[in-house]
Amino acid sequence: MEAVAGESAEPGNLSGVRHIVLILSGKGGVGKSTISTELALALRHAGKKVGILDVDLCGPSIPCMLRAQGRAVHQCDSGWVPVFVDQEQKVSLMSVGFLLEKPDEAVVWRGPKKNALIKQFVSDVAWGQLDYLVVDTPPGTSDEHMAAVEALRPYSPLGAIVVTTPQAVSVGDVRRELTFCRKTGLRVIGIVENMSGFVCPHCTECTNVFSRGGGEELARHAGVPFLGSVPLDPKLTRSLEEGRDFIQEFPHSPAFQALSAIAQKVLEAPAQLS
């Protein structure tokens, strides 16, 4: 990492962040990083200044999704300066991916070292003024989750979005994630069902490749809001692989409509607390 000479100090840690949203799931492969990335972009297009904190230490994929791989993390008097991923500097990102010498380097760390880095990410990143900080977490309910929740607790997080896919196996794992939220006192903003159907690239008809409705049924059973279903869309997949702004480029996609509706519900969440 490079130190920035003469860099003016920005507000350290999270003092300038208005709302913190954690993205959780009970298992891997459900698309947490996809939802984190697209939620951040949707909030940005709603006029908000957004940060993304990628604490999925063993699978830091968001730098690739935002075409920010290989960028250097600088330092100022307040700590690490996050990487801006757009020219307007409305979306900033901090990820362990920026700290690895090689992009294919594995993070082979035991729990205490991982937990220490998560706490350092929370305390030592100079986010400045943000409307929303989206925190992409690892899968499961491990000690890394406890470290993230405990480090963020003094800043009163807005809550968690829990991501599932329609299959019964995924829904069962996510049910345990809801138990984790209850035990740690973390408010659940709502459940998102990802990969809910496949959008045909030719006619845009949506076909249920797996099953459908598992996330909505779980939300109803758990008494938490259901934020929406996001279908599999080849345009969304291609945008993530190429680091493009799906929200800006494909406003007529069913996935865009779903993601925009989810972002709108997140924007309305603070008012529901008052």
For 193-224, the pLDDT digits (tens) are 999 888 888 777 778 877 777 889 899 999 99
24 lies in some domain: yes
Give the Å distances, CA to CA, from 232 to 40, 164, 268. 19, 13, 26
Residue 207, class by beta-carbon neighbours within 10 Å (0-12 exposed, 13-18 middle, 19+ buried)?
A: exposed
224 lies in some domain: yes
| Interval 33-81: pLDDT, tens | 999 999 999 999 999 999 999 988 777 889 999 999 888 888 888 889 9
Cα 185 from Cα 171, distance rounded (Å): 21
**How many domains would you assign to the chain?**
1
Cα 73 from Cα 76, distance rounded (Å): 10
176 lies in some domain: yes
Cα 118 from Cα 159, distance rounded (Å): 18
pTM of the model: 0.89
193 lies in some domain: yes
Cα 177 from Cα 198, distance rounded (Å): 26
Residues near 147 by Cβ (< 8 Å), separated by ≥ 6? 114, 115, 118, 119
Cα 247 from Cα 77, distance rounded (Å): 35
Which residues sit in the known binding site? 26-33, 200, 203
Domain boundaries, position 56? 17-272
Which residues sit in the known binding site for [4Fe-4S] cluster? 200, 203
9 lies in some domain: no
Residue with tokens 């345009």: 235
pLDDT (0 to 100) of residue 56: 84
| CA dihedral sign of residues 232, 46, 264, 175 | positive
77 lies in some domain: yes
| Interval 72-113: pLDDT, tens | 888 888 889 999 999 899 999 999 888 877 767 777 777 788
Instruction: Report the CATH number that the domain containing residue 136 is assigned in CATH.
Output: 3.40.50.300
Which residues sit in the known binding site for ATP? 26-33
Residues near 150 by Cβ (< 8 Å), separated by ≥ 6? none
End-to-end CA distance of the chain: 42
Query: Where is average pLDDT lowest: 17-31, 196-210, 244-258?
Result: 196-210
4 lies in some domain: no
1 lies in some domain: no
Position 8 confidence tier, pLDDT thresholds 50, 70, 90: very low
